[in-house]
Structure 1
Amino acid sequence: MGTKADPLAALSALPGVADSVDSVRKAVDRVYGHRVMRRRSNEITSEAALRGARGSAALAGADWALEEVRRRSDFGGEGEPRTVGAALRLTAEAGQLLSVWRQSPLRTLARLHLVAAGGSAPEGTVGRPRLEGEPVTEPLVELPLPDADEVAGRLDGLAELLLAGTEAPALVTAAVVHGELVALRPFGWGNGLVARAAERIVLIGSGLDPKSICPAEVGHAELGRAAYVAALDGYVSGTPEGMAAWITHCGRAVELGVRESTAVCEALQRGAA
């Protein structure tokens, strides 16, 4: 990138973004300071992964109750079980990919898609961006679909931005990664699931949420599909107002994830969970 400006950092100056970043940081600090975190953080991390997977699957059209996700062990076949299984595998994998992400975001995305597909995608399409003419199944996202050349170019550009380093807060970087991947839908299936897993990786790897206890996916699901799609429209518009709306939407999602894990901490403290 040489002496070029830091485009991700520039987004931090958009109206409302600094306040959102500050609010998220305070919320995250509060849950990390909870007394239960000192002794039982592994339990909080495991529970956050389960609840995050449930939330991500809900946004992909498989809105199962938490207890159903917890109880089930068979996620084979098509339809909703496939979606929930993919979400569970992705949240489990995300924390293992931090070093790869720092060296090669594109290789990490390929790995995430491989994990999501779990052997059920058409032969030869797993772990690579779609080619011209290949179909995309992405329920709930009806944005215009960029062609394969644009997808390849923008993925390369995103990887360059990430590898060049940025002064942008973690929330801004995570929101851009998430938004860009859903806008591009580079894979034939599972793009939203992969995008939300990549957002998780950025939040963990940036040091904002190193123990992965602030599941943004929970918040995205709680805010609802309509709000998610509307905020994505803002991202795709590329306007300052639209970008700011998407970043602050992602900030609210992280804060709701924090609220969820705080409730888990409280339940453990009471001995109720």
Structure 2
Amino acid sequence: MTDPARVSESDPLAWLNELEGVPSGFAAARDGIDALLRDRGLRKTRPEQTAESLLVGAHASAALEGSASSLDEVRAGDGDETAQAALRVSTGVLGLVPTMNSTPLQALARLHALAGAGIVGDDVLGRPVNAEASERLGGLSRSMLTTQVPALLVAAIVHAEIATVAPFASHNGIVARAAERLVLVSRGVDPASVTVPEAGHLALRAQYESNLRGYRVGGRNGLHSWLLYAAQAYSTGTEASPLR
């Protein structure tokens, strides 16, 4: 995630917002979200629209995790185990907004506890799998608390770090995508949670998986490509909103 030659002690993510195409990509994605919400709050949103966004997002996230359940099955609560895990997370994610703003590590642990409940042992729910995972999560949390870069960039880094480091015993992809949505809500980009970033990733699945592999391998090019991809995915997720 970091380029040692470029990291600022005050803002460890600032250098990422200087990469070519990244500021303009995220600005365009943010403009699309703002247009959907009619300039930050002028458009009324209803609870059922938020609920639908969460449901569609849960289905998309489960599909990316390997679920074969249809949206109708997920809507009826009849999805497979992976879909059920994604639904549990979608039900609890918005309640973690205050925690994400103050103690991100606790919010991430709670997301895994929701996803893994009844599937993995209680002794590993919400706990990093090893010292390296714990260190990476700690660094991510510190970055989230100190950075001033655009929220969409933060969301993209949180997603990629969790998905590629796989710090938990299970469901890391589901946790990563829920954490991404949580960043968008908690940082005021989409406070009603009516965009569907998970659907954006599903629609661009081949690019999504390819760019995560590039991020995992490491290096500046892979990270840069992931950020450019993420801006595109957020725009696609905006198009999937129930407000459309």
The answer, yes or no, to whether TM exceeds 0.5 is yes
Residue in 2 that maps onto 1:173: 154
Aligned residue pairs: how many? 235
Give the match's secondary structure for 1:187.
coil
Are positions 1:26 and 2:31 aligned together?
yes
Higher mean C-alpha deviation, range 230-239 or range 176-185:
230-239
Q: 2:195·2:237 contact (CA, 8 Å) conserved in 1?
A: yes
**Structure 1 residues without counterparts, runs of 5 or longer:** 76-80, 131-147, 267-273
Contact 1:216 1:250 in 2 (8 A): no
Residue number among 134, 141, 161 corresponding to 2:143 in the alignment: 161
Q: Secondary structure at the match of 2:46?
A: helix
What is the CA RMSD across the aligned residues, in angstroms? 1.8
Map 1:224-239 to 2 at 5 A: 224=205, 226-239=206-219
C-alpha contact 1:6 1:166 (8 A) present in aligned 2:
yes
Q: Which amino acid counterpart does residue 186 of structure 2 have in structure 1?
A: G
Say whether 1:113 aligns with 2:112: yes
Q: Give a deviation string over 1:160-209, Cα, whole Å, max 9, x none.
A: 1122x211111110111111111211111101000111111111111111
In structure 2, distance between residues paired with 1:188 and 1:128: 8
Query: Among residues 188, 206, 213, which one is paired with 2:194 in the alignment?
Result: 213
Say yes or no: does 1:265 pair with 2:243: yes
Deviation string for 1:81-131 (max 9, x for gaps)? 11101111112211110111122111111111111112221241212111x
* TM-score relative to the length of structure 2: 0.90
Distance in 2 separating the partners of 1:87 and 1:26: 28
> Which moves more between the two structures, 108-117 or 148-157?
148-157
Q: Any idea what SS the aligned residue of 1:265 has?
A: coil
Could you tell me how far 1:74 is from its partner in structure 2? 4.1
How much has 1:259 moved relative to structure 2?
A: 0.4
The percentage of aligned residue pairs carrying the same residue is 39
Superposed displacement of residue 59, structure 1: 0.4
* Larger of the two Rg values belongs to structure: 1
- Map of 2:3 onto structure 1: none
Distance 1:9 1:247 in 2: 13
